[in-house]
Homo-oligomer: A and B are copies of this chain.
Amino acid sequence: MISLSLIGAGRIGRIHAANVAARASSHGDIRLAGIADAIPQAAEELAARVGSKAVGLEEALEGGTSNAVLIASPTDTHAEFIERAANAGKAIMCEKPVDLDAGRIRKVLAAVEAKGVKLLVGFNRRFDPNFASLKARIKTGAVGDVELVTILSRDPAPPPVSYIERSGGLFRDMMVHDLDMARFLMGEDPVEVHAVGSALVDPAIGAAGDVDTAAVLLKTASGRIAQISNSRRATYGYDQRIEVHGSKGMLRAGNVHETTVELANGGGITADPVQNFFLERYEAAYRRELAAFIAVVKGEQATWPNGHDGLKAQILADAATASAKSSQPVKLSWS
């Protein structure tokens, strides 16, 4: 039985809390031991809703009532919380990123490894049923050797500039998901990163030193190529697509539309916009991520994606950030 402490009662925390409660009722292999939040009232309200209790941060991270912790607090707390939970010997599931600084991540991973605890990093796209099915088919050899991967990710609308300023920039905040997916889908680490970026959606984003429209080219040592494009705006919904070309064919995963309804008239045949909200789009992914964490804690599967996946994605995001600024490619060696 996993006794889980949840840190963070915000938007993502609430999703995880509901998923843990549903899993408890359907499988009985996990319980929500307590919920901690910097705003105690938020923890209390969420705990009341899902039949748990509010606890202090120390209890959640280091107390004896839980043997696992799910960290869904703000990004700048992740590194410290992981270290504290690791020191307390707890299994850890942490929302991405571990930290915005690769050096800091390395320290965290060292602590995690020193304590021998498990750390699953929440790259939700890996758990999306569509993308997971695509990857599974690559593994079966459906398209032969992977040669070219194209990933597109566009948010419906840009966040406030205040968010942008603390985000680490588009490459670290948003594209880091796609950089992780590129590694995951190619099965090989990129050694060359070319990035370009522009502030086309909102000049205020440019004024804040960031970009809102960007594209990256990655190349691996064996010559595999990945293309990624990102934008902070998509008028037709949250656009999330992947296309993988291999020696034997192509696999692609398309968008999820709001409904299957189409309207035909003189203007043409119109399908619904795609699901607009990431929590709706990745609803199943969050459930499957929790199931994976449970399986990891039970020892049924390897820790995946782990802290090293988090570190590598961060290094790629740093490289893309540098490349876009300098208009020069960044070379990487992973030895």
Interface residues of A (CB under 8 A from B): 18, 21-22, 25-26, 49-51, 129-130, 133-134, 137, 142-143, 145, 147-148, 150, 152, 154, 192, 194, 196, 198-201, 213-217, 219, 223-225, 227, 229, 231, 233-236, 239, 245, 247-274, 327-329, 331
Contacts and interface: CB of A to CB of B under 8 A. Distances in A.
A11 to B, nearest CB: 15
B231 A269 contact: no
B224 A198 contact: yes
Q: Kindly name the residue among A196, A231, A329, A331 whose own CB sees the greatest number of chain B CB atoms within 10 A.
A: A196
Contacts of A130: 259-261
Contact of A273 (B198, B261, B268): B268
A24 to B, nearest CB: 10
Contact of A192 (B50, B142, B196, B236): B196
Q: Which 3 A-B residue pairings sit nearest by Cβ, starting from the closest?
A: A198-B223, A249-B265, A236-B264
A328 B133 CA distance: 36
Contacts of A231: 147-148, 245
24 contacts: A130-B261, A137-B263, A147-B200, A148-B229, A150-B150, A196-B219, A198-B225, A200-B247, A201-B247, A215-B225, A231-B245, A235-B248, A235-B265, A236-B250, A239-B250, A249-B263, A251-B262, A251-B264, A252-B261, A253-B260, A257-B269, A263-B268, A266-B273, A267-B273
B268 A329 contact: no
Contact of A22 (B22, B148, B217, B219): B22
Contacts of A249: 235-236, 263-266
A51 B51 CA distance: 12
